[in-house]
Amino acid sequence: MGIINGAEFAPTSTYLDTAKCGLLPARAVEAVQRLAAGNAAGRGDGAGDFGIVDAVRESFARIVGVPGGRVANGGSVAVHCGLIAAAQPPGAEILFPEGDFSSIINPFVVRGDLKIRFAPLEDLAEAVRPTTSLVVYSAVQSADGRIADDTALRGAAAAHGARILNDATQAAGWLPFDAGAYDYTVTGAFKWLLCPRGTSFLTVSEEAQESLVPLHAGWMASADSWHSTYGPLSELAADARRFDEPPAFLAYHGAAQSLAYIEETGIEAVHAHDTALAARYRAGLAELGHEPVPGGAAIVAVPGLADKEPELRRAGIFTSARAGHLRASFHLYNTEADVDRILDVLSG
């Protein structure tokens, strides 16, 4: 059972893979099933509720500390990044860390007319230069849990007039995160925010909103959506809602419950719980003679142990093999017993 609210989770395995996909709280599962049943029965409520979609926007906004008017709802980090990539002028220089997640890199690379640069994460701030238009990086690295030096990166970007796109997918939900510190953020919510797949968020500063064209604008991008269902819209929404993707209602009905659970628990409590388990795991690894990637994240990666993932899976312990590392990640449904179990298996 989960240590903070066991009623919400009852995993039947030792699940240490939130960095891949979070487990749905029971209330989220019930919300998805309720909507699906309504749809199957032909009830009016089975079509989905736009009020719930807007409530999800506001809940996420509170979690990351921005007004709801800065949040666009969507279903994919890559789509959000594609919108930002499309807004870059030809020849613009885009700077990335080496080995970051491809969903935030590829939309810029496939443009074909942008200047793409890479630098090691630890040297990324020093790599920003006057010709850099945009710095794109993950707050927490997917492959190994390294946490970016946001203070240095924000300072370097400001000094050279560059904007920042921060991917909070591996951060929001366990790490206190202020989306208001960046021009753009993107977040896949199906990991640490425990939402169903098909839920993602884009935040855009008021200034940066003017730089984006709502290329996938549907009727929901209108200032008056219900009077814009046919023909061209007469006026775009004044805030980030004009960048919304059409909502996947099953995902968003579940997300409303998942985000409510995160808000009720509190990010500080989640952070304390997750990082305490990760620290226990790191200490146990050291006793076994293994050296994990340094850091204090809820993600712990051990170089050279990727081949242990199948053995752990056979023992009912779910982790991931990433970039040659064995990656374990700890969240609300995990306990100290889970940590001790993986260490027992790794000890032989």
Buried b (16+ CB within 10 A) or exposed e, 235-271: eebebbbbbbbebbbbbbbbbbbbbbbbeebebeebb
Cβ–Cβ under 8 Å, residues 51 and 184: no
Closest by Cα among 330, 333, 331, 243 to 284? 330
Give the CA distances from residue 317 to residues 130, 230, 282, 332, in Å, rounded to whole numbers and listed in that order: 48, 52, 17, 16
pLDDT at 2: 44
* CA atoms of 348 and 343, how far apart (whole Å): 9
Other residues' Cβ atoms within 10 Å of the Cβ of residue 7: 10
Give the max Cα distance, the chain. 67
User: Domain 33-264 adopts which CATH fold?
Assistant: Aspartate Aminotransferase; domain 2 (3.40.640)
Strand partners, 50: none
User: In the chain, where are the structural domains located?
Assistant: 6-25+266-347, 33-264
- 348 residues of the chain, pLDDT tens digit each: 345 556 799 899 999 999 999 999 999 999 999 999 999 999 988 899 999 999 999 999 999 999 999 999 999 999 999 999 999 999 999 999 999 999 999 999 999 999 999 999 999 999 999 999 999 999 999 999 999 999 999 999 999 999 999 999 999 999 999 999 999 999 999 999 999 999 999 999 999 999 999 999 988 888 988 888 899 988 999 999 999 999 999 999 999 999 999 999 999 999 999 999 999 999 999 999 999 999 999 999 999 999 999 999 999 999 999 999 999 999 999 999 999 999 999 998
Encoded tokens for 162 = 């560059």
Tokens 């924000």 appear where?
Answer: 154
Contact status, residue 55 vs residue 73, Cβ threshold 8 Å:
no
Cβ atoms within 10 Å of 81's Cβ, excluding its own? 22
DSSP 287-324: HTT--PPSS-SSEEEEET-GGGHHHHHHTTEE-EEETT
Count of all residues that appear for the chain in the document: 348
Beta carbons within 10 angstroms of residue 91's beta carbon: 10
Residue 6, pLDDT score: 63
Contacts of 252 (CB under 8 A, 6+ apart): 48, 52, 53, 56, 73, 198, 199
Q: Quick one: tokens of 249?
A: 């209602």
**Strand spans (E) along the chain:** 14-15, 71-74, 93-97, 115-119, 132-138, 163-167, 184-188, 200-204, 299-303, 317-318, 320-322, 325-329
Beta 200-204 vs 299-303: how paired, if at all? Answer: unpaired
Q: Which CATH superfamily is domain 6-25+266-347 in?
A: Aspartate Aminotransferase, domain 1 (3.90.1150.10)
- Both structure tokens of 21: 């996909």
Whether 6-25+266-347 and 33-264 share one fold: the answer is no
Residue by residue, DSSP assigns 152-216 as HHHHHHHHHT-EEEEE-TTTTTTS---GGGSSEEEEETTSTT-PPTT-EEEEE-HHHHTT---TT
Q: Angle, to 10 degrees, between the axis of helix 267-287 and the axis of helix 336-347?
A: 20
Handedness of CA 232, 249, 172, 94 (dihedral sign): negative
